[in-house]
Structure 1
Amino acid sequence: MKKTQRRKLSTLLLATTSALALAGCSGGSDPKPQPPTAQKSNILFIVLDDLGLDQLAFYGYGGAVPPKTPNLAAIAQAGLQFRQAWAMPTCTPTRATFFTGRYPSSTNVLNAVVSTDLANSEISPYEMTLPKLLDTQGYTSALIGKMHLTGTDLDTAANLPYGHQTMWKLGWDYFDGYLDGAPFPIDTRAGLSNVAEGTYKCGFVSNTTMDPANGADVGACYVATGGCESISRGEDIATPGRSCMERGGIFDPGQSCQATRPSYIDFDTQNGYYTGEFVQSWPDGRTNKVTAADPSARGYRSTMETDRAVAWAKQQSGDTPWMMSVGYSAIHAPLQLPPLSLISDTTRGRNDNLVCSPASDIEGVPGQITALIDDHLITNLMLEAMDKEIGRLLVELDLATWNDDGTLNYQPEKTNTIVVVMGDNGTYVNSVKFTEPGRFDPTRAKGFAYQTGVSVPLLVAGPMVKDPGREITHQVSSPDLYRLFAEIAGADVDAIVPANRPVDAQPMLAYLTDPGQGPIRTLNFAEMGTNFTNPATSITPQPCVIEAANVCFTIFPNKALCDDQSGIWYGVNSGLADVPAEGFSQCGQVMSYRQGLDAGDKVDVLPDSQKAVSDGQYKLVRLNRKIYSIDTADPVNSTYVENQNTDELYKVDMAVPNPTLDREGSAIAIGSPTITAPLPTEAQQAYALLKAEMDERDQVASYNYQYDKLNCPGDGNRDGVVDQRDLDNWTELSQLNLYKGVAQSSWYDFNHDGKTDDADRAIIEAGMGMDCPSSPA
């Protein structure tokens, strides 16, 4: 049975009646798969989380103490290393561009998806996603680990219409990964419900040298399978609690193993990088969820992600080409020490007992940046551990071998697999390497459209790469990978993707096959914005301040998420003096409060939208930010005034060892809403070109943001018409993911009230037969 038929058959099971469900999945005939040929390459796509160019010594950067990444360096040396690759400033928008070929404003996937967003800000099942595209060429596809493309199953799963079948509905034959955007916070009780939160800040019971008050040098290590082993400090085990955690266990300090596991041993609570909740789906539509208490969900994430990728790939026959996307969680917050077994004995900080000692704490009060040295050290260790696992992935897939000295012997020309590695956005603030070489900018890192936030590694290796070891200095953007993968598979994007929804991706294959290939892109573009917020959820995001970036935002719904990002929480129960118990509701109140404490405080509001466009030398950044009144005497009185546009023009390059970045104070000119001051001739010409592109992208963003309510209400599948298919799709979705008898958020929630109900059906009926206006670009 063909995959497209299996998908339709499974969809019959999702709706109340088979007839309605069959109508709901109609969206045009899927292109007929072609039989695979021996020439078709397998594709291994590795996505690195929060890892910008600043981290990597083989790019010429890495700061004064770079992490060890020999295996990533080996991939670069055996293939191509792109020096001007841009991602979007945050994870979900970038990852959506990989699999749709469209910029964020073309899909309304504008920021990292959280549980309080509408499904309208997630990839639509009506898109020609990359796995669907490759299906037309006979490929089977898998997605392993973190990809953060959808909503979550938290609470009522308010923005997950297809539940655990979502990745399957988006086209993947197999999924074994997380719906969450990051590992859960570190369990500072270390799995012990009888101790207070905050006792063990790194997630494991310290030894007595690190923490004389709460540490232990002996105890019982319980594992999820039901066993227990006594562990004590000795020559091979410096910290028994850490050793137990690395085995997937929970350490009971100072105690011996009991025949019945004590009730305070808690395997249900997640613990940062040492647990995961894996959602699985299969080609026949079956799903499963593996919770943190399951032995297979306990271990170190980079290791578990590699294990799952190897397991799937090993099951594939040699007759069918495959694409496997592996999303590693590292080096996303929370920063947590990896297993000692993944770290070289000579790595600085491997055996540093102060990292998780109370002696290293600095009070997290406004105006201070906490634990920066620890953050850099742990980031290095996490990156080295992931690099080791990436090497193991290649070896266990028979794409490489280990040399006698432990280095990677990777000769991609002897394989039938293309390997592509890319970061999803720049490094997060506290991990940015701001010293030489590199001198990147932590105040303009992940979450910003400046160079530190969008410049990422991109490596491509494989049998079709001619003259490996080259650097590509031409500009490329994350959506371009959509076309690259299509070209590798032999899929004709322009013939398959609907003409009314052309992709933004540019072709890249020529860079692999032609060493003399000139620039394919004339402009590079990146953006982020604000997702559609779900008014039906009971959770209200409140302000969080990231002091290292001088920014306040209202995205996180609770203090734990803010804490995990090294932020200061100004919401409910913040614990800060003179902050109301219910917390502040917006960042104007936070800025008023902070300026009352320090008139020179620089914290500002995270822009509602950010766009950046560059010709490789000049770069235009356009910001749209809320402006609030400031009342230092009574911060609660701060009110919203207006939104303000600002254009900033910079000169940039990614030179080695220290690039010219778009730092604060380095702009050639700044204007609001646009630059009107006279500029030097070359700069003026560049600004005119970049502004024209930016204006066009603004029009596209406005068109798509208003699509459901203004430009084409009723056209939920975005095929350009309001017709019976829309009514059928609404019928299907209105019977799924019910809460109190009403379907929750979906792509057919046209009034954006968090419900897919009769009000949305009425919108379709009112617009029936309408041809929608075309996008401005």
Structure 2
Amino acid sequence: MPAPRQALAASLALLLAACSGGGAGDPAPAPPPAAQPPNILFIVLDDLGVDQLTSYGYGGAAPPRMPNLAAIARAGLQFRNAWAMPTCTPTRASFFTGRYPSSTNVLNAVVSTDLANSTISPYEVTLPRLLKTRGYRSALIGKMHLTGTDLGGAPNLPYGHQTLWKLGWDHFDGYLDGAPYPIDTRAGRTGTPEGTYPCGFVPNASIDPTHGADAGACYLATGSCTQIVRGGAITTPGRTCMERGGLFEPHQACRSSVPAHLDFAAQNGYYTAEWIQSDAEGNTRKIGAADPAARGYRSTLETDRAIAWARQQPVGQPWMLSLGYSAIHAPLQLPPVALLSEDTPGRNDNLVCYPRSDGENEGVRASLNAAADLVDAHLVTNLMAEAMDAEIGRLLVELGLAARRADGSLDYQPEKTNTVVVVMGDNGTYVNSVKFTAPGRFDPTRAKGFAYQTGVAVPLLVAGPLVRQPGREVPHLVNATDLYRLFAEIAGADVEANIDPARPLDGQPMRAYLEHPEQASIRTVNFTEMGTNLRNPAVAVTPQPCVIEAASTCFSIFPYKALCDDQGGVWYGEGSTQPGVPAAGYGNCCQVQQYRAARGQGAVDILPHAQKAASDGQYKLVRLSRNQCASSGPDPIMDWVHGRDAAGEPVFDVTDELYRVDMATPNPTLDRQGTALAAGRSPLDAAGLSAQARQAHAVLQAELDRRDVVASYNQRYDSVHCPGDGNRDGVVDQRDLDHWRELSQLNGGQSSWYDLNHDGRTDAADRAIIERHLGRRCAAP
């Protein structure tokens, strides 16, 4: 594997190391109830906001075709005001803990440079643990971004491949990566320059007369080979070979052995993966990209694995299956043509991912090329969404929850099943995939990664035998954290009996919306947030700046150039191709601002260090904490409440912005730049607002102030509020010493939840902290 790909592999650790056996809060198992409660099928969509869906009345001028999701919406409930967190890991952690990010320190997508302290604690009563009290078996399949990385020495994965088992899941068959690897532009052929095949496959000769081919040999990882020739349904032999899980040798006949330069171990976007499996006894297995079982289109393999597990469950055994689709997360890559309708625009058009369009625009303004790239991104997004929707339909049919009509449409009658189906997005759509035209007119500059509406408004569909008067739309505020309580209510699990009253859940009950059409709003305020995870000083690499030009934003999250490139960004770290950038790169976005200003380039926003937002459904208050760029040194550590450094000097600008919002059709009222009713330093001066706006502002400000206190408390828990209490049960005792002893002997004693001094090691220094505070009882914030 070339060095850039090794670097990428070490950083694609958008992962969460969470687990432990025998935590103090573990609920006691109970036998299944006499009457079987409903099964639960929970489907999570990646980077797909409400802007994509025609069932919500949006979708832009050219929406993706998703008839199966529309059928689920018609057969159940559609929640119009559902919020996720702005990025994936915080939302997904909220699903399974019922807590906001600032209650768990899971504040952003977890990468290899973060401490395990910013991952789900193994001492939480996770959802699968809670459901065990009602006899449920639980599986997690596909992408859920809830583990640490096993790459680069596993710096934040104390329990290794047993992590999901330790967190309570009986079955795991998914990824440790937070996203598919970048497209292999060598098409799996070592010695081929990167960039030769931007689609990940060898194109036909019409597209690229120099490097393309209309015939060749398709080798599979099993060692078999098939000759593929252009003609009939096959327009691009190289693409057909990739869809079959193979590597293509252009212009060649099959040989008796696989050519040595074909690299099956290389990752290629959506057509490869590294699968980690664990079972109910904690046995684990890793399936690498070179294994035939790991090759194929992700949406298809994710569906296959979900179907296989559900079919294995005995009659009368209640289960919950959480299925995380990778789509439509970057990299944008053409799906198999077999998953797309024959009249879908771009179905068999390799130009949408091939740079021939640049040649066509030769001599034309660069802005035209950028516009062409954006059109292509929207086309590929639509294709990926349609392919995933097709697999969701197949999932329901093969599980016996639906059938196909003669015209191919989905006949879904959930009231005749014993399975509740829940579908939710993990955050808003990513920049280049956002539908910014009518209907919808969403805002790509305030999309995924931001606490604005485009970044947090997500689809939420619920169907099943508990739903009364299906086809309804629920206008009330709901939150990703609320799903924890919903699943508990469906299973009949007693939340209050199993959750420490000193650490109450943030999630609110939801089942009443299913059963009572007249149910009033249970939430009065919705909330979302993201921040900066605790970084690991023991990891050699550090995140460096990346600028996403389409969003005019700079951030320092990625430790390698390949990740920035994969997101369509411009890299200013080590290895930057920008003229005048030092060989070692810049350390933060303030230096990038200085660089751009010196060259007369436009300024870009710096991704806030922390973002929070609260809404009552009509008004929305957004709070942003940003670096002032007063110096070119390393990014300082933020004081969450006051925005001051250790010397008391201001470091972060903390500003508030108040908006009017709604999620009306055809075009919602969004929190766009320049539309704030009031904006300024926090606390915001609301004197000039109407009485109604002032009253709403007071309520929303109080909510954000409260969450600021919670965030500060939890970030300082190990150092100030309760040193030594690694399991967060409010007392430093022998159990803490026992947990420390276990974790200090695992994974070389690297970062864990008992790395109490946050130095990246679980060692004697942390034991000394526990011993120094033994017997201490700590108050909640």
Q: TM-score range by the shorter chain?
A: over 0.9
User: Cα offset for 1:616?
Assistant: 0.3
Task: Look up the match of 1:755.
Answer: 761
Task: Look up the match of 1:259.
Answer: 256
Deviations 1:511-535 (A, max 9, x none): 0000100000000000000001001
Conserved 8 A contact 1:335-1:378? yes
SS at match of 1:527: strand
Residue 590, structure 1, aligned to residue 592, structure 2: yes
- Residues 1:29 and 1:687: Cα distance change in structure 2 (over 3 Å): closer
User: Cα offset for 1:629?
Assistant: 3.9
SS at match of 2:392: helix
Separation in structure 1 between the aligned mates of residue 745 and residue 167 of structure 2, nearest angstrom: 19
Separation in structure 2 between the aligned mates of residue 347 and residue 554 of structure 1, nearest angstrom: 38
Separation in structure 2 between the aligned mates of residue 590 and residue 205 of structure 1, nearest angstrom: 37
Structure 2 counterparts to residues 694-733 of structure 1, below 5 A: 694-733=704-743
Task: Look up the match of 2:564.
Answer: 562
Residue 605, structure 1, aligned to residue 603, structure 2: no
Q: 1:359 aligns with which of 353, 356, 360?
A: 356
Q: 1:283 aligns with which of 280, 283, 300?
A: 280
Task: Look up the match of 1:426.
Answer: 428
Task: Look up the match of 2:140.
Answer: 143
Residue 657, structure 1, aligned to residue 647, structure 2: no
Q: 1:737 aligns with which of 740, 747, 770?
A: 747
Normalised by the length of structure 1, the TM-score is 0.94
User: Cα offset for 1:357?
Assistant: 2.6
Task: Look up the match of 2:5.
Answer: none
Structure 2 counterparts to residues 83-94 of structure 1, below 5 A: 83-94=80-91
User: Cα offset for 1:365?
Assistant: 9.0
User: Cα offset for 1:712?
Assistant: 0.5
- Residues 1:104 and 1:405: Cα distance change in structure 2 (over 3 Å): same
Deviations 1:580-604 (A, max 9, x none): 12111110111111222335x1411
Separation in structure 1 between the aligned mates of residue 451 and residue 465 of structure 2, nearest angstrom: 34
**Amino acid of the structure 1 residue aligned with 2:672:** R
Task: Look up the match of 2:330.
Answer: 333
Structure 2 counterparts to residues 569-648 of structure 1, below 5 A: 569-598=571-600, 601-629=602-630, 642-648=651-657
Conserved 8 A contact 1:24-1:728? no
Deviations 1:144-178 (A, max 9, x none): 00000121111100000000000000000000000
Separation in structure 2 between the aligned mates of residue 691 and residue 367 of structure 1, nearest angstrom: 43
Normalised by the length of structure 2, the TM-score is 0.93
Separation in structure 1 between the aligned mates of residue 305 and residue 680 of structure 2, nearest angstrom: 50
User: Cα offset for 1:661?
Assistant: 0.1
**Amino acid of the structure 2 residue aligned with 1:347:** T
The Cα RMSD (Å) is 1.7
Separation in structure 2 between the aligned mates of residue 676 and residue 616 of structure 1, nearest angstrom: 21
Separation in structure 1 between the aligned mates of residue 33 and residue 253 of structure 2, nearest angstrom: 58
Deviations 1:403-426 (A, max 9, x none): 111100100000000000000000
Task: Look up the match of 2:163.
Answer: 166
Task: Look up the match of 1:534.
Answer: 536
Conserved 8 A contact 1:733-1:746? yes
Separation in structure 2 between the aligned mates of residue 368 and residue 476 of structure 1, nearest angstrom: 40
Residue 292, structure 1, aligned to residue 293, structure 2: no
User: Cα offset for 1:24?
Assistant: 7.7
Unaligned runs of 5+ in 2: 1-19, 637-649
User: Cα offset for 1:675?
Assistant: 1.2
- Residues 1:366 and 1:629: Cα distance change in structure 2 (over 3 Å): farther
Per mean C-alpha deviation after superposition, the further-off stretch among 79-88 and 369-378 is 369-378
Deviations 1:693-735 (A, max 9, x none): 1100100111011001111110011000000000000000010
Task: Look up the match of 1:399.
Answer: 401
Separation in structure 1 between the aligned mates of residue 259 and residue 539 of structure 2, nearest angstrom: 37
Conserved 8 A contact 2:528-2:614? yes
Residue 103, structure 1, aligned to residue 105, structure 2: no
- Residues 1:409 and 1:537: Cα distance change in structure 2 (over 3 Å): same
% identity of equivalent residues: 68
**Amino acid of the structure 1 residue aligned with 2:606:** V
Q: 1:273 aligns with which of 270, 275, 280?
A: 270
Residue 767, structure 1, aligned to residue 777, structure 2: no
**Amino acid of the structure 2 residue aligned with 1:541:** P
Separation in structure 2 between the aligned mates of residue 341 and residue 272 of structure 1, nearest angstrom: 18
- Residues 1:157 and 1:229: Cα distance change in structure 2 (over 3 Å): same
User: Cα offset for 1:25?
Assistant: 3.4
Conserved 8 A contact 1:349-1:377? yes
Task: Look up the match of 1:7.
Answer: none
Unaligned runs of 5+ in 1: 1-22, 631-635
Task: Look up the match of 2:179.
Answer: 182
**Amino acid of the structure 2 residue aligned with 1:154:** L
Structure 2 counterparts to residues 408-419 of structure 1, below 5 A: 408-419=410-421
Conserved 8 A contact 2:352-2:377? no
Deviations 1:629-669 (A, max 9, x none): 48xxxxx7898772110000000000100000000000000
- Residues 1:617 and 1:29: Cα distance change in structure 2 (over 3 Å): closer
Conserved 8 A contact 1:26-1:725? no
SS at match of 1:44: strand
Task: Look up the match of 1:323.
Answer: 320
Residue 381, structure 1, aligned to residue 378, structure 2: no
Conserved 8 A contact 1:563-1:569? yes
SS at match of 1:755: coil
Conserved 8 A contact 2:420-2:464? yes
